[in-house]
């Protein structure tokens, strides 16, 4: 437990990374990100050779999800940001489904 506590001791991500992870905080291999329905989730994303994975687990561990995507080498920064935002919205939607959203409704589906 002490090691997990150390991993969860986070600092704000850089201004550049804020574009990919708005409100994100980084620990020792873990990223803490805010949920639109309140609270946060923990993540560690990665990828190699044409794919990217994003995942999320709520603090209580009751909900988890993962998204895997193809990526093209040499993608533009704009396309990478669009892809990251779409995957992040899917993670948020899956983790917030059925929970009260901060504005009183369900989280929006990506692209809507």
For the segment 18-37, what is each residue's pLDDT rounded down to a tens digit?
887 788 887 888 899 999 99
For the segment 62-89, what is each residue's pLDDT rounded down to a tens digit?
999 999 988 766 778 888 888 888 999 9
Comparing CA positions, the residue from 40, 54, 52 lying closest to residue 12 is 40
Cα–Cα distance measured from residue 15 to residue 92, given in angstroms and rounded to the nearest whole number = 21
Quote the DSSP letter at residue 37. T
Retrieve residue 109's tokens: 């589906």
User: Would you say the pTM of this structure is higher than 0.85?
Assistant: no
Retrieve residue 75's tokens: 């993608």
Poorest-pLDDT segment among 36-45, 51-60, 103-112: 103-112
């Amino acid at each position: 437990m002490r090691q997990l506590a150390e991993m969860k001791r986070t600092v704000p991500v850089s201004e550049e990374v804020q574009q990919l992870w708005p409100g994100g905080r980084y620990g020792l291999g873990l990223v803490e990100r805010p949920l639109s329905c309140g609270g946060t989730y923990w993540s560690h994303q990665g990828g190699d050779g044409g794919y990217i994975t994003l995942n999320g687990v709520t603090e209580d561990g009751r909900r988890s999800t993962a998204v895997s995507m193809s990526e093209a080498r040499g993608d533009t920064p704009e396309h990478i940001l669009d892809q990251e935002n779409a995957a992040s919205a899917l993670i948020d939607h899956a983790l917030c489904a059925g929970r009260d959203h901060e504005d009183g409704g369900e989280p929006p589906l990506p692209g809507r």
